[in-house]
Structure 1
């Protein structure tokens, strides 16, 4: 699958949920802590693919494409435009290509 550099026009933050101390009250709360920010290209599914996913664990998910980055596998959460997502699947390109892409499946946190 070929992508143009101009396809990667949106930002995603990858990170994890950590306990962060509130400096004013001293209490700790669990909060998304971004570790890395990457450009991504949205991957559009066909209607047929969307219909097949209804009723499965992948229902209401979205797929994004990033340049190959093995560190993404260590993160559990992502954030796009202030919306939190859980990483449900990470599919790295393990080929021996100069430019390779990873597919990341995200499920919106409610």
Structure 2
């Protein structure tokens, strides 16, 4: 199924966790630090993808499409509607075409 960039109607924030010291009790806590955001569209996961993720005990996943961006890595965290997700895999489209996309799980 072709990806239509007009369906990119939501924002996702990409970033990482950073340890900060709580000034009240001096404990370290991890907080999300946003690096950048991109427009995205949801994609339908195939049954094969769902079964593979379930077999690896990975649940509550989303498959999204963004315009190709080399800044997005598998070490990042994605925040969609205030819910944090780890970027598990990136299917990158590295062609030199004008319209290239990445699929992120």
- How high is the TM-score relative to the length of structure 2? 0.81
User: Could you list the runs of 5+ residues in structure 2 that have no partner in the other structure?
Assistant: none
Whether contact under 8 Å (2:74, 2:90) holds in the other structure is no
Partner of residue 53, structure 1: 52
Any conservation in 2 of the 1:10–1:41 contact (CA below 8 Å)?
Answer: yes
Work out the number of aligned pairs and report it. Answer: 103
- Distance change (3 Å), C-alpha of 1:8 and 1:53: same
Show structure 1 runs of 4+ deviating over 6 A.
none
Provide structure 1 residue ranges, at least 5 long, that are not aligned to the other structure: 106-110
The 5 A counterparts of 1:1-110 are 2-22=2-22, 24-25=23-24, 27=26, 28-46=28-46, 48-49=47-48, 52-53=51-52, 55-57=54-56, 59-60=58-59, 61-73=61-73, 75-105=75-105
Question: 1:56 and 1:97, CA in 2 relative to 1: closer, same or farther beyond 3 A?
Answer: same
Q: SS in structure 2 opposite 1:73?
A: coil
Stretch of structure 1 that moved more, 35-44 or 55-64: 55-64
- The secondary structure found in structure 1 opposite 2:98 is coil
Q: TM-score, normalised by structure 1?
A: 0.78
Calculate the aligned-residue CA RMSD, in Å: 2.3
Q: Write the distance in 2 (CA, Å) between the matches of 1:88 and 1:31.
A: 20
Q: Check 1:62–1:25 CA distance in 2 against 1; reply closer, same or farther (3 A cut).
A: same
